[in-house]
Amino acid sequence: MMAAKAAELADVAIDNWQVAAKFVAKEEARHERELVIDTPEGIDGVDDDEPRNNRSTLAALLKADKYGQLTQLPNIGRQLNKSLRRDRLDIATSGIVVPAAIAQHHSKLEPWEICNRDLPHGAIIAYYRSPFPNIGAAAIAINNLEVLHERDREAFAKQGVVYLNPWTAKHIAITDFDGDRNGFFVGYLANDNLPHQLREQLGNLPITGGERYEAGREVLAQIILQRDLERGKFPLAVKEFTQANAPDLKPLPIAKAKKADHPWHEGESLTQAIWRAWDITANNPTGKVANQSIILQSLASETVYIEPERKIGLLKQIGTAYSEIPIEVIPNDEYLIDHGLPPMQLAEKIENIVQASKQLDRLPVAERLAFAELNLGNVNRLLKSYCDSAVAKNLQTAVDTAKSSVGIDETIHEFGERLQYKSHQLRQNVKKPDIYLRRDLPTNTQEPIGWAVETANRFYNGGQQHELQEIESEDLNKRFRSLVPITHNDAHKAIVDEFARRYRNCTKAIGEIKERLYRELPQDQQPTLTIVSSSGKSLVVQGLCDADVAGDSPIWDLGDGESNARFEIYRDFPKGTLRERENDDREYYGVYLVTDESEKVLVGEVSPESARVNQLDKFPIAQIGSAKKFSISKSTLDFHPPYALENDVDAVFASADKVLTELESSIPNDKRMQYASAAWHSSAGMGMAAKIFANEISQHLDKVPPIALNRPTAAALELRDGAELAIRFERDLHVGAIAPDGSTIDLGLSTYGDSPLLTPGTVVAAKISRPLDPKIHIRTELGEFVVNPAPAISNTQIEDFAGKFAFERRGKEISVDYIGSGERRIPIGVLGRELINKESKAKLKDGSNLLRGTLWRGSNEKILEIQVQHLIDHHPIARIDRGEIMPLSQQSPPLEQIDPAPSSERRYYPTAGELRQLYQASESAGDIAKMVEIKSLGVLLNEVYPDGDRAPDDFSHWVVEIPVPEQEVTETPSRSTEREPTVIVPVNKAKTSIVVDRSPTENIARSM
């Protein structure tokens, strides 16, 4: 089953479409099963690198993304990969998802009951609060919805909460009612009448508290043995929890730690007292104790599950490790009893295991395996009993640290570390941010979790994300700019750019702080001191607590502000005085405070950053005892909280979120689309836009901008303009035509840096269009010229447009103008840098050159344009990679066909006089594009009016299509009214259109 899940996830992981769909499905399921309060904590909470990545916003955006266009956007891709990383970790570490709810108390419930509206009535469940100290903290109960539904409708109406019996919550599940959340294992689904039957059976017993709870647990333990009982999702877990909590098997009960104020010892400075209290509370030990508990349980499992042929070697490994445990670090029974723990004879058990490992080689070969299994059983019981009692008690103490000055029992914790007979690679690496993003999860234990990790790793290695290739632009974001049309102006852009700058600074700081905190440097958990000399030089001193070995450092007697204290800095310091060095290649500079008695007391070290900034390596500083030192006499002192406290990631997240909130609040509702456009097209604002303009962006995700097929195959170049076909987007930016039977033909590559991307596997109905040649060509008596078009005709197709053209040098460029009537000049563009221009340019005179020529601009012969019509399907990438043929679904919507041209009976043919007026109006406006169209109408109408007023002879062929409004058709024909209201000259290559209304001629000219 584990391998099947890993294989399924591996198939999903290489398909961004499916990753996004999985993310949306998980988010919708989360909303259904619990009360969701979206916070800017990110997808994986503190594991995220950006603020306000709340899952609901991202899910809504992805759900609106009809074509999956956003799934390859780098910012969203990172978030999806982190969600995928969580899925991989869940499979690797056997993670499960259980319903959760906020705990509330209710006196109407019996100790064996809960009331959770999100669970079935009559469900037999086990519930707990995280962290889970031991199996005794799993409370067994039945879900009774009838009691509160009948007796407390107001309470019953609340969602996202679970009502618990107060006694059970406190004494079994160790749950408070101040926001604690409980998880629920649904084991069995009993009949609806069972809660009522239990009340009748147990409700009148003359017992209270624990006895009533135990009576209910015992009855439920018997009920779940019935073979015909319907099973829930976790029947085995609930059964084991129920049986393991029997009175003769239940482990040590764990209670909450009592609150205790932090003392201020006599003679102790306030600064020292504050930092000692902070070290206990803020540096919460819950993580390290929970980690120890998990490791010991894993190692205990290994003694049972490891292959028989490796058991002898394992016992020897354990014996060697335990032989190195000093007797003085092993808690004796007197110590355990004094600290509320049962006697365990730990020293005796350790010695027995050591001696057994030494005895192995003296036994006959046939007896060694059985002997090893016997003693590995002793190791198993030692580790589990220590975990369930001593470590569990320490874990609950750690959880309550924020409310108490009582820290964890370091003696108990130290021995727990010694019991780990080898390092645990899984626990050492599981929280590292690159796991299942750039590498797999290491493991070195032979037990179910270790095997699950190995399985997940095997499929992860075979299913890594396929990198995009052959992208010409380094800025992948450019491919997504065209999704949102530009509607902003410079003012909108200036405002957004400033917010984007601030936001980028915050996200950069988040990355830097997270990277440093991840290293868990000891000095980052301690206060620092900044010493500013009279000359203005500043030194940062770290390791103040490490240097205070005896707890009497004079540094704590100094305060902020000006000081006459004398500091001396020496290169290096006696080994062992401070913590063990992390890097022996680095120069260390010890900071000594010179007391009134001229005694030099080490108070810390110069931080590496400060040493580098002040270039201490260039000063003649020697080791202590030498005259070569760096001294500071008069200075200003400034104490700072520890880096880990002062640079809290949550605070930086909050500052980044504040930037987004400020931007949102400053935008008028009627201007949100313009600001969304500005953010989306900003170099640093696209990620910001996806967080606060999700609704605006979603409005543009139901269509796809034109996609350039700039490396077409020979098969693609044979496609006619306007051809309609089904297209599938493949890996590596390839595009293929797909037939109904699933066979494909490669059409080429789309590698333009600003062309949109669709997720590989996406199948769409598309129309093929041949875009305009980016250049204009003019053939003259001096040769052919290639022109970069002016903006007015940048999107105009021109065929054989004859006339006079002026070539004039303007600075380093040669501009080209069309000479119209009355010598009016209309800009065509400037000569490009093509080689074809060199020979022709050489024949031009200085100044202005007036040449007759023919201008044309056809379709680009090397590039095709894909115009997406609608979505057909998505083919899983894993199936494509396996070479599977996937016929198009019969339910796929039919491809849209080109609308037939209107019949000749519905055409209005203007006179040449009308065309001349339109032409003159366009020429006066300098609109070369309309001039070209009107000339084309003239040549087409020559055949319509053979005996009438003809159009000018120099009209070139041109194309234009103009639709006819149905409601304006005239029904009564006559010589003056037999023509329809709109002219239509249908030609397939039309790029623009003119509408000529059947109004008087002067109105026509004015409308143009």
707-771+865-874 CATH: 2.40.50
Q: What average pLDDT is seen over the chain?
A: 81
Q: By mean pLDDT, which of 229-243, 415-429, 817-831 is the weakest?
A: 817-831
Q: For the segment 738-753, what is each residue's pLDDT rounded down to a tens digit? A: 999 999 999 999 887 7
Which of 422, 402, 123, 416 is closest to 282 using CA atoms?
402
Share of the chain above pLDDT 90, in %: 36
Beta carbons within 10 angstroms of residue 740's beta carbon: 11
Backbone phi and psi for residue 89, each to the nearest 5 degrees, phi listed first: -65, -40
Share of the chain above pLDDT 70, in %: 84
Which residue, among 559, 560, 570, has the nearest Cα to 605 in the 3D structure? 570
| Residue 396 confidence (pLDDT) above 60 | yes
Q: Is the pLDDT of residue 626 over 80?
A: no
More confident position, 683 or 91: 91
Query: Is residue 757 scored above 90 in pLDDT?
Result: no
Burial of 282 (0-12, 13-18, 19+ CB in 10 A): middle
pTM here is 0.69
Q: What is the pLDDT of residues 549-583, one digit of tens each?
A: 777 788 888 878 888 888 888 887 655 455 444 54
Higher pLDDT, 509 or 997: 509
Residue 725: half-sphere exposure toward Cβ, Cα within 13 Å: 24
CA-CA distances (angstroms) from residue 33 to 117, 432, 962? 10, 29, 56
- Report pLDDT for 108: 92
Confidence of residue 590 (pLDDT cuts 50, 70, 90): confident
For position 847, what pLDDT does the model report? 78
Query: What is the rounded (10 degree) CA torsion for 208, 214, 215, 216?
Result: 100
Per residue in 276-332, pLDDT (tens digit) is 777 667 677 888 999 999 999 999 999 999 999 999 999 999 999 999 999 999 999
Distance in angstroms (rounded) separating the CA atoms of residues 948 and 925 = 28
Q: What is the mean pLDDT of residues 138-147?
A: 94
> Which pLDDT does position 575 carry in this prediction?
53
Query: What is residue 770's predicted lDDT score, i.e. its pLDDT?
Result: 84
Highest mean predicted confidence (pLDDT) among 16-20, 460-464, 650-654, 904-908: 16-20
How far apart are alpha carbons 721 and 859 in whole angstroms?
Answer: 10
Q: What is the per-residue pLDDT for 126?
A: 95
- The full set of domain ranges for the chain reads 1-38+48-94+431-466, 100-245, 281-422, 478-515+651-702, 527-578+585-641, 707-771+865-874, 776-859
Do the domains 707-771+865-874 and 100-245 match in fold? no
Helical ranges in 14-144 per DSSP H: 16-33, 55-64, 74-92
**Alpha-carbon span 194 to 178, nearest angstrom:** 31
Q: Answer yes or no: is pLDDT of 425 > 80.
A: yes
Of 255-269, 470-484, 738-752, the poorest mean pLDDT is in 470-484
Highest mean pLDDT among 16-20, 55-59, 637-641: 16-20
pLDDT at residue 225 greater than cutoff 70: yes
Which of 568, 564, 559, 562 lies closest to 639, judged by CA?
Answer: 559
CA end-to-end span of the chain: 72
The answer to whether 498 touches 684, Cβ cutoff 8 Å, is no
Q: Which fold does the domain 100-245 belong to in CATH?
A: Barwin-like endoglucanases (2.40.40)
Of residues 475, 503, 505, the one with CA closest to residue 681: 475
| pLDDT higher than threshold 60 for residue 412 | yes
